[in-house]
Structure formats: structure tokens, C-alpha cells
Structure 1
Amino acid sequence: MSAEQVCVIGGGLAGIASAVRLLDAGHRVTMLEARPALGGATYSFHRGELTVDTGQHVFLRCYQQYRDLLDRLGSTDRATVQDGFAVPIIRAGVPPHLLARNRRLPAPAHLLPALLGYRPLRFGQRIAAVRAAAALRGVDPDDPAADRVSFGAWLAAHGQDGQTVQRLWELICTAALNAPPDRASLALAARVFRTGLLDRADAADLGLPTVPLADLHGTPAAALLRQRGATIRTGVRVHQIRAEGNRFRIVGEGGALTAGAVVLAVPHSQAARLVPSEAAPDRARWARLGAAPIVNVHVHYRERVTELSFAAGLDTPVQWVFDRTPPGVSGQYLVVSISAAEQVLATRASELVRTYLAALAEVFPAAQRTQVRDAFVTREPRATFRQVPGSRSSRPPAQTRSPGLALAGAWTDTGWPDTMEGAVRSGQRAADVVLAHLGSTSDPTEVTA
């Protein structure tokens, strides 16, 4: 079959993954992106001598499709992956505690020494946590019944008291799902803990960007797609998608184009406005997914205040903190990431800065003796969808009722949380829907399904 024109609407990770897969199959791709550059939610901006990411995006070794995409983009060496899961736990007045897997033991025994030696919990709580971890291996992330239960309720039913939840399970759950355990789907929590921590010893080894997100995703993606012959039009907001026979008319700022197929890779609120009613008669239910915010507090100190590259906080407002000091910049640039940030989303920036400067000074005493060169706040009001119990019933599949029109985005029904891996998987699924419609397939030697 001859090469067909496919329009990919949205230049985030889902749209990029779709475009790469479609180009691999030999189709012509036009990408439309409303922002000035590709990258979607993983973008950067400049402030003085700093390049600032709007959010702190980490990944796990088990994010295989995302890591394959980094390889295709030529970005693998722009991120580092631990050779063993290890998270420093910081509290005011005590040395950091390292929560780390045993590198010699197979899964799930690799976590046993970490849990039994976890100092923030009493010994009896550690034993109960080991039992709960073992029970969690029996939860099927794809079981609809698991999606209807909160992770917090499941933990309580498996002997986890409030302090154990707050000092252990919540550390990872809130960061991974942008929701505390009592508001998080058990199915999605099981995906995080089983796939990431329990089923394979090295799966949870953390990956962190060593460059700004724009240099990790958007810029190299634009270069690759153009090199492969794609047309990229940024600054174009699409207003309408209309089916015309067996083709689609896409109307946006600056004109319109016709394509044989469309991948709609935008947030669910935008997708609900753009998708034709006949393609998704139940699109109104997507609104139930809602939005969950993340807030980041950025502090540039005149001198270094910690040697940790990142850490998770206990008994402090500092949930997670990352050292994002770029080469050649003096002092130290730290970013505090606040997930499930509904309570602070509307708080004045000056108040947030005051609160978190004091909190950082408590966990990093050197900050008390160091001048602050700059401090500011970034907010992501719609960082993820609300990954609450029952949310999967509102997540649509990639395929719509209009042949040739597919949905992509981490909010679609990937079975994964709203993560970079989920976004990439969604884009690949959407591309496969389009390829099946066009009667072609991707090249298995270049793309892993």
C-alpha cells in the first residue's frame, strides 16, 4: 500500500512515540503542536543562568518503551540510571537513611534487608511491611476489582498502621501516582510496586535526566522526525477534526489539512473537545479523570548545601528534592517537588518559598549559612489525571469508533499510571491502531512492541 499522510496532533511523548512508529512503517507524518516546541509536559524555560524544567521527571529501569524511545532520540547518554535502587531518606537532626535493594539477592528477596533495616519504622512495623509486600505480589494490576479499591484501604486491611503508611508506602505512592495511598487506585499502585519493586530485582533502579528535559526529549525528537521526513508545525492550535468520507479534515490556526488517519495525542480535556461525537459518543466521561497538580519550589544557593543528588523527606514539607545544578553554574540549584499538591496549589509563591527555605535549612543545616541567589515556584495544575479508585473505567482505549482516528496520551487505557512510560506506550498503541487501519505494520527490527 502506498505511503499515507497521517496527522499527529500533539508533540508530547505520546505524539513523538506515535510519529516515530508511523515513520518506521513508511508513512508520511505531519505533527501539529500548540506550544512553540515539542516535548509536551516535559519542557524547559530559561531563568537567568538556569534552564528550568517545569517538573521533575524520573523514570525506572523497567520503563522499557520509554528507554527505547530515548535510544531512538539519541538521548540515552543524557540520563543516568542507578546500578541499584537506592533512595536517601532525610529527616531533620538525624543522618540520612539509605533505602536500598540488595544487589546480590533475586526478587523479591532483594528488598528484604532494606525493609528489615528501615530505621524510620519500629521492628514490628518492618515485619508487617514485609508481609504486606509479599501480599502485594498477589494483586493483579489488570484486575478491574483492584481498580475499585484504594491502596490505603488495602494497606490497612493488611496490617499497615498510619505511621507505616506515612513513613514507607506514601513516600513512593505519592510521588509515583501523584496521590496519597488513601486516594490512589490499588491497581495502579500494584503496577508501581509489583512491576517496579517486587517482580524484578533491578526494575526500580532510578533514572534521572542529566540535561534539561527540552534537551532530553523535545529538541532531539524534532531533529529525528525532520530527518526522517516528517513535517512539524509548532504554534498551531487545532480547532476541529472532521471526518470526510474515508479521510479527515483537520482545521487549525493558519489553515487546514487532509489526512488519511489521525493520532490525537493531547490531554483528555482537549481531546474531548476535538474528537468527533461519532468517534467517541461517551467522551463526556473522560472529564471524570479530572486533574491532579504538582508544585515545584526552586532554590539557587550561593554555595553547596548537600552532596546528595536527590532525596526523599520524612517529617518535613520536603517530599522529594533534586540537585539540578548544571555544569558551569556556581553554587547549588535544588528543586523540591510537591506531588498531590492540591493544598498548596493556590498558596502565594512568597509563602511557599519562605516555608520551603526553612524546611530545607532543617534537613540541610549548611543552607542556614548560605545566601540564596534566587528562589521561585512553578506550578503544574494539570500534571496528571486523578489516579483514584475507579479511574480506569473512564480511560478510553486507543481505538475510537471512527476507523483511522486513534487516541494517545498517558490518560488513555494503557494499564499504566500517568508516567512517561505510560505516555510512550499510549503513542505506540495509537500508531498500531492507525497502521492496522492503513493495512501496514511497523518495522519490528526498529521498534519494540
Structure 2
Amino acid sequence: MSATPFAFDATGITGSNDVDRYAAVRTSQGSRQVYTLQLSLQEIPRVLPVPDPKYPTTGNRKVNPDHAQKFGAYIRGQTEWVAPPLLVRDNGSIRFEEQIELPDGSNIGQLLVPRNSRHILKIIDGQHRILGIDHAVKILDEQLASWQDALARGDSGDPEELRVQIADAEKVRARFSTEHLAVQIYVESRPQAYEQMFFDVADNALGITQAVKVRFDSRKVVNRSIPEVLKHALLKDRIDMEQDRVTGPNPNILGAKHVGDIIRAANLGVVGRVTERREEQLDDSTLIENTNVFLDCLVASFPELVELIEERITAKDLRGSSLLGSITMLRVLAGAFHDIWSQQGTAEEDVIEFFSKLSPHMSVPVKKGSIWMTTTDFEENSSGPSARRQNLKNLSDTLVSWYEEGLPTDAAHDRR
């Protein structure tokens, strides 16, 4: 039997496609091209990268899952939700087909986004919103499937109640398919530049910690020095990159902000400031070298720091037993190091010899009769010196005088 001939209409069939097309506007912002488009909530987790809370994205901060889930619950529960645009960057893989040129220099056209865009686009601002939307979409799909299965089986719950739940969930799903969020895609491929973009966006918003600022504000010479200094054995894997306060059970000895303070003190003195002129004059490599010498001197002088490096004690143990667990004390030692190191003819061995003389006096709390109580910078039973500017300067100067003239003895203080 011969086959019956028929006409096959292939209109609309595209086959496999490498790109998705979106209506978009191309504009300029600074020296960069920016594409603005609208994505439905349903599309966002498919097109944009979804951050993993366990692994911070390069050039961005760590994600807080609870905060993200709260945003997901917000857009699901509020029909009048509002959110600013999501900002992402592209390294040049996206193409734009211009159709209309407007008098202001902007263009309307089609944006060709690769299907694997989740692996190409990187988030500048909006991590928590994207993760929250992804969570809301997944939870909605799971709940809807569960309720539909239960209704079909007829052996779980009140059928009428299940129908109401399904109807409500389908309304939300319809909303997620028709409600949109603006996305702005910046064309930028330079790693240092996109870290600066994150900082610039965050710095103009409320809530960024100093620890995060120093990580991403690459315009400042001290901040640029931090990544190399963090490779030192004393600091490696012991720095809190998110929080400014490092206390109690925190497994870190310093925050990133404090590392910047120590770099500054070791190179400019305990209350030294980086003025605009100094910013131009200072060299990253010199800051790093001097700070590493200071850290080497600390490790060579104080046995408890060796124990910390060898993981025989924790950061919490150090804070509970030694002045070296005091961020303020480390800053003072760095300032004294700067003043001593700046003296002509000073060798690393000279600093180590002096710091080693301090080693027997580092126990906390500071008791009456301690050499530290000969200064005006400690309270009895304290675990560190006062952090006021005048106390920082006074204690640093005192250490320099002890280096030059010798330490006061406990016995001499007891006779007072």
C-alpha cells in the first residue's frame, strides 16, 4: 500500500536554539553598555545564576539563606510587592540587534541571551532576591504537585480544601508567569572592575560592613594589600571576611577590617592615616612586605601564636588567655613596630628580642602589679587596652620607650 501524501506546515518550528530573544533597551552608564530587560519571576531562576549560600560568588558577598527566603515569601504573599532591578554583568557573550535608535542615544531592539546564561552572567546586586525567587518557585511547584497527587489519590485530606489550596497555588503560579522584575546587564569582563562595581553599588546603600568594604574597594592601597597579607601563616583561614566584630566563639582572630588597620599601623603608625597624597605615594608591595615582617616578628616572639598556627589552641582560647587576642593590642604592637622599624639600623632580630621580653607579660586578665598597669591605658582585670585614639598613641609610644630604655619591673611597680 502506498503512503498517502499530505502537506506538512513547518511554520514556527525552529529546532534547537542556542539563544533566547528578549525585548531590551541599550543605554550607556559611565563607560559601560547596559542592557535593560524584563524577566518574569518564573524565568529569573532559569536565566540568571542562582547563588549557593555555601560558596560565595567571586566579587560578591556571602548569601544569607534566611534573608533570601523571607524575600521569596514576600513576593508570594504580597500582590503589591516592589523590588529594585537586578544587576548582573556579562563578559561580552550577549548580542544586541538594534531596531530603533532614540534621540537620547539609547536603542530598542532584541537581546540574544545564550541558553546557558546561568553560567555566563554574574550577579552584581540582587543575590538574595534571586535566591528568594528561586526558593519561592520551587516550593510552589512542590506544594502544587503534592496537593494534586493527594486529590487524585483521594486518600489524603479534605478534597474541597485541597481544591482551594490548588486554586490558590495556581493563581500564584499565574502571577509568577506574568509579573516581571527589571534586569540590567552590564558589559564588563575585568575581574577587578566588577569587584569595584559591587563595592560602588553596596557603598551607596545602607548596611555594608567595613569587612566587606575593605574586601572590594580596590581603589584604596591598604585594601589592595589585604589579599596578599592574608596568605601569612598567622592569618590564613583565621579572618572573618563578613563581620566587623570578632568575639566569643568566633573561630577567627580578626575581621578583614582589622587586617587593614594593622597594615595601616605597621606602615604609618598606630594612628596614621592614608591621606589622598599618601594614597598616591604608597606602594602595595611595600605595605605587604612591612606587614609580613611585623607578623613574622609576632610569631617568632610569642609561643601562643605558634600554638594557634599549629592548631593546638583556638582563637577563642587566645582571646581568653592572652593580650594577643585583643585586636586593639595587635594594632598597638603594629604601631610600635612601625616606630621601631623606622629607626635607622633596626633589624628584625631587634624587634623580636623586644617583643620576646613582652611575652611573659601577655596573660589576661591584666592584674594589679602588671607592667601594663604602669600605663594609663589599661583597666584592672581587662583583656586589652582602651581603644580610644589617645590611648592607642600613648601605649604605642610607651612600648617604643620600653624598647629604648627597658621594661619596668613588676617589683618596681609593686613598691609604688
TM-score range, shorter chain: under 0.3
More strand per residue: 1 or 2? 1
Which of the pair has more CA radius of gyration? 2
User: Which structure: greater helix fraction?
Assistant: 2
Larger relative contact order (CA 8 Å, sep ≥ 6): 1
